[in-house]
Amino acid sequence: MTTTRPLGEPLNRRDGTEKTTGRARYALDVPHDGLLHGAIVHADVAHARITSIDTTRAEQQPGVVLVMTHLNAPTLKPTARPTLVSLPSWAPGTMVNYLNTDEVFFDGQPVALVVAETLDQAMEAARFVTVTYDELPSRVDMMAEEKHSELVKPAPVGIYTGGKKGDAEAALAAADVTVDATWTTPEHSHNAMEPHGTTAQWDGDALTVWDGAQNLDWTKKHLQKKFDTSRVRVVSPFVGGAFGGKGNVWAQTILAAMAARELGRPVTVALTREGVYRVVGGRTATKQRVALGAGADGRLTAIIHQVWQRKGTMGGGDDQTVSGTADLYAADSILLQQYGVKLDLVPNTSMRAPGEATGVVALESAMDELAIALELDPVELRLRNQPTKNPMRGTAYSHHTLPESMRLGAEKFGWSARTPEPQSMRDGNHYVGWGMAAAVHPAWQFATNLTLTLSADGTLLVRCAFHDMGMATATATAQMAAHLTGIPESSIRIEYGDSDLPIGPGAGGSGQTASIAAALIKAAADLDRQLENLMSNGGRTPAEILTRAGRTSLEVKVGGDTGLGAVRGNVGFMAKLIRDSRKWTKAASGAHFCEVRIDADTGETRVSRWVSVFDIGTVVNHKTATSQLRGGVVMGLGLALSEATLFDPRRGRIMNPSLTEYHVPVHADVPRLEIHVLDDPDPTMPLGILGAGEVGIVGVGAAVANAVHHATGVRVRDLPITLDKVLPN
């Protein structure tokens, strides 16, 4: 077949009109007869036993039909801890068996659910639930509990948490020039435009949930286990942002399903904005030591990156905070370590580029310090230390264009006009600073099933349970299908967002588009073969071929096996990934260039100019890809300048659980972001795609911090960079 529409065309997103006109129905917009509403009562202690819970007044409030606590909730199966086998489909956000225990494991844990005819009635009644506790010893302050940390063992594949090459400490001691410092980053909370919410409905033993899910298959499997039924359907037509926060199953989904089964009516549990902070995990805080040693020529001889971060006592994963350091620069001796400490806090979870977003802050800030010590330009230092193969694993780079991105970014920004001395570019009452940093994020793939159905009218239907959380996946899928089949994009329909469809990839790790592409390649090849078999009847176009063969449609499937066949398929897919990881290092990369202006009297910091250049492999849609990258930079500006979840170090309570006090960037905080993409396919990835969702945030914090130092001479190693930290001495 011939290509009718090239990849990369900046088509408008397919759901744009629906979303901008308000016609798009998100999970909680779907109407249901007899719908009830639930409101969560949250614990206000970090670790305790419930000694009494009085629901009498709440039950007497107008409209209340149920107050569910651990005293009357149905018994659910306990959540098993993940194993190497279960990890690929391990979905719970926490190990807490909601309302099946009298023990509280973190401040914010649900201790009751009030269900009423209206949301207002449920929320009002929830105020009257009275809980008393016997408080237990708790650990809630990560820095104070560092002594309890444990070394994270490196995983054989997947999340990268450490490794060793040579004697890095000895090499550091022998180096001509060194940098050895500590950086800290705070907790970050999820604030997607659409807060978490679920509607659940039972029909006999069949459960359907409408949920803003980020991984339909994980959610479905977890609910099947939790409620002991094979008949689960998850519907997620639109997702109003997720960024990792909707990749796991959180309390509202379980509680909605519990209440709906008890009452025999559909129940919605929608988290308030504060409820998201209390119940849904966020990005872990970090303490990071980065030490660099170099010769007088600027060549790195030692790299040390040690990280301390936390988990919850009842769940949470390890961010791959040293992953970027493992990929970016060459040195003969490297030590990468991560330590974890368990705290009585809401379990942490994935948040855009989990690990790289914070780890590269410390690494790229240290590289800036080293450039100053060596009296080298920061771009030149990075160029001198580019590896020819992966510094830790020794694998070949499938695609290594970071030097090109840095050179192009410097040219577009006008970097050559930068004077190197701090405070040398003052403009009136403003200190002006220029900074830069590199970015990297691994390219991932996930097992994907789909079907293609070609009809005699010339239309093509693609069915796959993937997600569109705002990044226009349906649009990109149609463009890829058009490219591979020769059928016009306008004649292609996409069905997605429903677990009854063939199992799709989760929307995480920047791997969804490449995963869908791999399945489309197989399906399109199979469709081609079947059409060729029918060509003896005549016809030039696919529609003519089917018509002359007396067929109304032709369907091909990729995957779709169940039982042992599905297990074999997944095992084969994982085996291929492991083989690839031993041969190639695959990653998206890029470079950021930043200008800041800082008021000399107040310390107010404004980012005034920005240029980024990225290599994301093949660009499927220039408009939507650059939009994703731009969004990553904006999120990185929040990480750099304003975002911090503040915990009471004595009680473990989040003190700023709202957008009034947790500050995300607004339009006034963001300059025009100039985004460039190389559009250079990676030969080892499906259609050459590396992924665009997460690399945009990586390195942003360091670029801003480096610009702040250039402007003021003040090196801020404790994010966010607030005005009290930047005023020159």
- DSSP, residue by residue, 337-369: EEEEEEESSSPP---SSTTHHHHHHHHHHHHHH
How many residues does the structure list for the chain?
729
Distance of CA 499 to the CA centre of its chain: 21
Report the candidate in 296, 365, 406 with the shortest Cα–Cα distance to residue 710: 365
CB 454 within 8 A of CB 484: no
Q: Which CATH class is domain 32-137+193-242+246-279?
A: alpha beta
Helices 700-712 and 622-641 meet at what angle, rounded to 10? 50
How would you classify residue 603: left for phi > 0, otherwise alpha for psi between -120 and 50, otherwise beta?
A: left
Query: For the domain bounded by 146-188+283-443+586-726, which CATH number is listed?
Result: 3.30.365.10
Residues 557-596: tens digit of each pLDDT:
999 765 555 555 666 666 777 788 889 999 999 999 999 9
- Phi/psi at 50 (5° precision): -75, 120
Q: Do the domains spanning 32-137+193-242+246-279 and 146-188+283-443+586-726 agree at the CATH topology level?
A: no
pLDDT reported for residue 91: 78
Q: Which residue has the tokens 């149609």?
A: 478
User: Which two structure tokens, joined as six digits, stand for 687?
Assistant: 């259609």
pLDDT reported for residue 25: 94
CB 66 within 8 A of CB 262: yes
Q: Are strands 110-116 and 64-68 parallel, antiparallel or unpaired?
A: antiparallel
* Residues of the chain falling short of pLDDT 50: 1-3
Residues 355-410: tens digit of each pLDDT:
999 999 999 999 999 999 999 999 999 999 999 999 999 999 998 999 999 999 99
pLDDT reported for residue 2: 43
Given 194, 356, 643, 694, the catalytic residue: 694
8-state DSSP, 645? B
Burial label for 180, CB within 10 Å (0-12, 13-18, 19+), is middle
Query: For the domain bounded by 16-23+445-583, which CATH number is listed?
Result: 3.30.365.10
pLDDT reported for residue 90: 61
**Residue ranges per structural domain of the chain:** 16-23+445-583, 32-137+193-242+246-279, 146-188+283-443+586-726
8-state DSSP, 689? B
Amino acid at 337: Q
Report the candidate in 676, 527, 535, 460 with the shortest Cα–Cα distance to residue 5: 460
Q: Which residue has the tokens 């308030």?
A: 272
pLDDT reported for residue 567: 57
Residue 93 to residues 53, 73, 220, 497, 530: CA-CA distances in angstroms?
Answer: 25, 20, 14, 21, 44
Catalytic status, residue 364: no
Q: What is the CA radius of gyration of the chain?
A: 26
User: Which two structure tokens, joined as six digits, stand for 225?
Assistant: 């286990």
Q: Are strands 130-135 and 286-294 parallel, antiparallel or unpaired?
A: unpaired
Residue 20 to residues 236, 395, 666: CA-CA distances in angstroms?
Answer: 19, 46, 19
According to DSSP, the residues that pair with 438 across neighbouring strands are 591
321 CB-near residues (< 8 Å, 6+ apart): 161, 286, 288, 307, 309, 338, 355, 356, 358, 359
pTM passes above 0.75: yes
Q: How far apart are CA 346 and CA 323, in angstroms?
A: 25
According to DSSP, the residues that pair with 104 across neighbouring strands are 48
